[in-house]
């Protein structure tokens, strides 16, 4: 009885506002009933005075039961308070709104609707709201499945990262132990170099793993940390590191990672080979934008310069220099190595 009174009240208010089932109203209802979405209309009191046929077909209820605030009887109890709060606040502020909530279908199933409402005027005065609803249940289910899949993927990646990190630490420890037992100084140096290289690469990978989602890597910050860590691990006193981050460049993890590994190799290589007999020196790291869409990293030292190319990938040579071109290809970068009052390595790569 209460719902019927509200329905009659809504019809009386609509008639008072000039919204009667006349010619314009009949045309509106005809169009609304054939629309491919569920349509509702509310008067100035917030009470609904119209629902189209797709809405009534969805709920399986007569128009009289939906009018006024009868429609709210079909809203899921867990969504009811939020739904009415959004509706009321938007209505009082005369602004558009969009919300999702569950509405009971004629067969008793709860379906997710996306409900959008907009205020309208008649004769220059606020007359109420028009709204439309679409069923988004399948989309919500697909999004939830996708979210769960991403969570499972992140969990598996975290587990894989944890295992790889532990294995790398175990390998580093094993190589260090073997180096301490090696009788040949050249073999011992090669083993210690391999242990250092694995440890530094693991540190880079660990930092990159902490980048969430599709977030980009601030390259300047990453390369500066990488270079300082590499020089510290190299354990070579008397060598200074100068950094010049002239431009801020953000790169995806897949591109930033090999660039950081290259800086690792170049700094460690310079610390080990560019300053023989304990001489002092300086390593300079520069990051800048060489041109629109083009980034540039320069690692330079004032050491003795590059030796001949022959033998760099031998135990007596510089294995890091041999690895750098391969890493540059992974970063889609060009590499130039030159003697310029020391050694100078220049990397250029695409950067938005």
Q: Is 347 helix (H, G, I), strand (E, B) or coil?
A: strand
What proportion of the chain, given as a percentage, has pLDDT over 70? 84
Task: Provide the pLDDT confidence category of residue 5 given band limits of 50, 70 and 90.
Answer: very low
What proportion of the chain, given as a percentage, has pLDDT over 90? 53
Helix (H) or strand (E) holding 128: strand 125-135
Least confident range from 266-275, 284-293, 313-322: namely 313-322
pLDDT at 13: 42
More confident residue, 249 or 3: 249
**What is d(CA 188, CA 96) in angstroms, rounded to the nearest whole number?**
73
Asked whether the predicted pLDDT for residue 61 surpasses 70, the reply is yes
State the alpha helices, DSSP H only, in the chain.
2-16, 23-33, 53-59, 63-66, 77-93, 137-181, 185-209, 219-234, 253-273, 319-330
Asked whether the predicted pLDDT for residue 110 surpasses 80, the reply is yes
If you write DSSP's letter for every residue of 7-50 in order, what string do you get?
HHHHHHHHHHTT--SSHHHHHHHHHHHTSSSEEEEE-TTS-EEE
Helix (H) or strand (E) holding 110: strand 110-122
**What is d(CA 144, CA 135) in angstroms, rounded to the nearest whole number?**
16
- With a CB cutoff of 8 Å and minimum separation 6, the contacts of 229 are 200, 203
pLDDT at 288: 95
Asked whether the predicted pLDDT for residue 80 surpasses 50, the reply is yes
Helix (H) or strand (E) holding 337: strand 333-339
206 vs 106, 161, 192, 257, 329, CA distance in Å? 54, 8, 21, 10, 22
pLDDT at 11: 44
Q: How many CA atoms lie within 13 A of 311 on its CB side?
A: 6
**What is d(CA 175, CA 188) in angstroms, rounded to the nearest whole number?**
9
**What is d(CA 78, CA 128) in angstroms, rounded to the nearest whole number?**
27
Asked whether the predicted pLDDT for residue 42 surpasses 90, the reply is yes
pLDDT of 122-168, one tens digit each?
989 999 999 999 999 999 999 988 888 877 877 766 676 566 666 66
Taking Cα atoms as reference points, which of 69, 127, 122, 75 lies closest to residue 99? Answer: 75
| DSSP secondary structure letter of residue 279 | -
| DSSP secondary structure letter of residue 123 | T
Asked whether the predicted pLDDT for residue 18 surpasses 70, the reply is no
Q: Tokens in use for 132?
A: 């439309």
Helix (H) or strand (E) holding 257: helix 253-273
Task: Provide the pLDDT confidence category of residue 10 given band limits of 50, 70 and 90.
Answer: very low
**What is d(CA 56, CA 165) in angstroms, rounded to the nearest whole number?**
60
**What is d(CA 21, CA 29) in angstroms, rounded to the nearest whole number?**
9
pLDDT of 167-194, one tens digit each?
667 776 767 777 787 888 888 777 777 7
More confident residue, 161 or 53: 53
Q: What is the mean pLDDT of residues 3-11?
A: 42
Q: Which residue has the tokens 């199933």?
A: 109
pLDDT at 88: 95
Asked whether the predicted pLDDT for residue 52 surpasses 50, the reply is yes
| DSSP secondary structure letter of residue 341 | S
Least confident range from 2-16, 92-106, 254-268: namely 2-16
**What is d(CA 25, CA 37) in angstroms, rounded to the nearest whole number?**
18
Asked whether the predicted pLDDT for residue 14 surpasses 90, the reply is no
| DSSP secondary structure letter of residue 309 | S
Helix axes 219-234, 185-209, angle to 10 degrees: 150
Mean pLDDT computed over every residue of the chain: 84
**What is d(CA 103, CA 66) in angstroms, rounded to the nearest whole number?**
13
User: 0.95 cut: is pTM over it?
Assistant: no
Q: What is the mean pLDDT of residues 88-111?
A: 96
């Amino acid at each position: 009885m209460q719902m019927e009174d509200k329905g009659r009240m809504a019809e009386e208010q609509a008639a008072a506002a000039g919204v009667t089932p006349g010619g314009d109203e009949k045309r509106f209802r005809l169009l609304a009933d054939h629309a491919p979405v569920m349509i509702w209309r509310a008067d100035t009191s917030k009470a609904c005075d119209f629902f189209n046929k797709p809405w009534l077909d969805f709920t399986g209820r007569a128009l009289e039961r939906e009018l006024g605030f009868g429609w709210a009887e079909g809203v899921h109890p867990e969504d009811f308070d939020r739904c009415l709060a959004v509706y009321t606040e938007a209505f009082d502020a005369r602004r558009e709104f969009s919300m999702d909530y569950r509405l009971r279908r004629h067969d008793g199933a709860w379906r997710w609707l996306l409900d959008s409402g907009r205020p309208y005027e008649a004769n220059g005065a606020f007359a109420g709201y028009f709204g439309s609803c679409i069923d988004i249940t399948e989309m919500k289910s697909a999004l939830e499945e996708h979210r769960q899949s991403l969570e499972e993927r992140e969990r598996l990646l975290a587990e894989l990262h944890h295992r790889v990190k532990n294995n790398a630490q175990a390998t580093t420890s094993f190589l260090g132990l073997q180096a301490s037992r090696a009788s040949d100084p050249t073999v011992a140096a090669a083993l210690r170099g391999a242990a250092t290289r694995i440890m530094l690469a693991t540190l880079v990978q660990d930092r990159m793993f902490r980048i969430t989602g599709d977030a980009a890597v601030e390259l300047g910050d990453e390369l500066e940390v990488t270079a300082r860590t590499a020089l510290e691990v190299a354990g070579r006193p008397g060598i200074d590191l100068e950094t010049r981050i002239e431009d801020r460049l953000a790169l995806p993890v897949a591109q930033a990672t090999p660039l950081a590994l290259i800086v690792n190799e170049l700094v460690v290589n310079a610390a080990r080979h560019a300053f023989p007999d304990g001489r002092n020196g300086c390593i300079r790291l520069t990051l800048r934008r060489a041109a629109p869409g083009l980034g540039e990293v320069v690692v330079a030292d004032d050491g003795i310069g590059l030796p001949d190319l022959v033998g760099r990938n031998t135990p007596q040579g510089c294995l890091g220099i041999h690895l750098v071109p391969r890493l540059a290809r992974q970063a889609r970068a060009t590499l130039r190595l030159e003697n310029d009052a020391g050694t100078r390595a220049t990397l250029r790569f695409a950067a938005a």
